[in-house]
Amino acid sequence: MSKKKVRIMETVLRDGHQSILATRMRIGQMLPVLEQLDEVGYDALECWGGATFDSCLRFLNEDPWERLRTLKAHVKNTPLQMLLRGQNLLGYKHYAGDVVDAFVKKAKENGIDRIRVFDALNDPENMKAAIEACNKYGVHVQGTMVYTISPVHTNEMFVDVAKTLKEMGIDSLCIKDMSGLLAPYDAYSLTQDLKKVLGDKTPIDLHSHFTCGLASATYLKAVEAGVDIIDTALSPFGHATSQPATESIVEMFKGTEYDTGLDLDKLRPLVEHFRNVRKEIEDEFGIKAAHEVLPEVRRYQIPGGMLSNTQNQLKEMGMADKFFDVMDEMPRVRADLGYPPLVTPTSQIVGTMAMMNVNFAANGMDRYTATPNEVKDLVRGKYGHLPAAISEEIQKKILGDEKIVPYSPADIPNEMDKYRAELSEKGFVDFSEEDVLSYALFPEVALNFFEQNATQVFQKSLGKK
């Protein structure tokens, strides 16, 4: 296999601060260095999607669409990339095909060049509409497999998903290791198997987190096996539960046949800037950047940030002493529910059920005495095809005698007209398609944002109720 330099996809503008500081970076903190980032020579800049859309509206009082337009105005040479949850888009439910189509269209028009499309269950049907829309509007579409470990998640299973995504028309493939579970030699064998079926014309991008402390070594072995692109974050927002630090990875490959070609002298002023930004965010929001390496995550298989969230939730419930009971229960729930990979929204669904089961046990009740609607919908198949079958015993505990009806996201009736009508009924006028999409994804949060930022272009009619 011919060797070539590895390309770097920089995550400091999205996953870096999402993983380290709860997605609290403002556009004003990005602006001073956007031209410098553009000059580095990155393969792409991840800057949108994931939790940034919600965070802009909910916490930062920013219009995410305006943020994207601003980024595009200052980044002229480097592709802008976003993360999209397939049929979920950036929300937490499946949306109709017309909403998916409209979102991809507007993302492209406002500045996105590449869309990384994934599904929590690796169900290609949940990625189909987004992939088709990307191809329709000329967006580079990166099909994604979320990596996890279970008795059913084999190289053969991942290769089958990759084959299906290639047939759907993806331009590149991402291995998304959201919890940092992928070990170095497993990455080597998986990459080799994928390269055999994808060939050299479909680049492979490896995305991992440093949560377990494995990611840098995993990147090394994956690149040796043929991975084309790796995701990193500048060091103030790297390591811990984020990606390996960009400077460290550049140093690791420097002078080798895989040399990234990036100039460390161009990175140093960027590092200094983002070090100050990190302190600003910590001071403004009173939160401390994650810094620990958590090897036990490979056992529990949950995203690193979820550990602290679970601890906080248990404290609020008066169950702080039950933390390790919940950690032990999570793999059992995951097995019961067909081994879903743990990433939004399945990580939250499994985590909630594990906490409930531990609480039931503490009160002398059976596991699954009660179940949230989201757990029922997961069992019903409304989130997609589960990797493994659920036993009749667990299914009966959760659904009783209910019959499971086959479900497809293609069955959802068109929704854009409904969302437009709802905004009109609430008294809003002159709204854009972008505003409709913001409302579709986060109705209450978007309405609050609109009302706080009313202008002559987008205003609430005072005479309407």
Q: What is the pLDDT of residues 309-347, one digit of tens each?
A: 777 788 888 888 998 899 899 999 999 999 999 988 898
For the domain covering 414-453, report its CATH number.
Answer: 1.10.10
Phi/psi-derived region of residue 339, left when phi > 0, alpha when psi is between -120 and 50, beta in every other case: left
User: Which CATH number is 7-285's, of 1.10.357.10, 3.20.20.70, 3.40.140.10, 2.160.10.10?
Assistant: 3.20.20.70
Please calculate the CA angle 109-19-142 and round it to the nearest 5 degrees: 40
CB 342 within 8 A of CB 333: no
Amino acid identity at 13 = L
Phi, psi (5° rounding) for residue 135?
Answer: -65, -35
- Identify the burial level of 9 via C-beta atoms within 10 angstroms of its C-beta, where 0-12 means exposed, 13-18 middle and 19 or more buried: buried
Sole residue written with tokens 């397939």: 86
Which stretches in the chain have pLDDT values below 70?
1-3, 304-305, 307-308, 455-465
Domain segments of the chain as ranges: 7-285, 302-409, 414-453
CB atoms within 10 A of CB 57: 23
CB 89 within 8 A of CB 106: no
pLDDT given for residue 308 in this prediction: 65
Give 5's DSSP letter: P
CB 112 within 8 A of CB 80: yes
pLDDT given for residue 144 in this prediction: 98
Q: Which CATH architecture has domain 302-409?
A: Orthogonal Bundle (1.10)
pLDDT given for residue 294 in this prediction: 82
pLDDT given for residue 315 in this prediction: 83
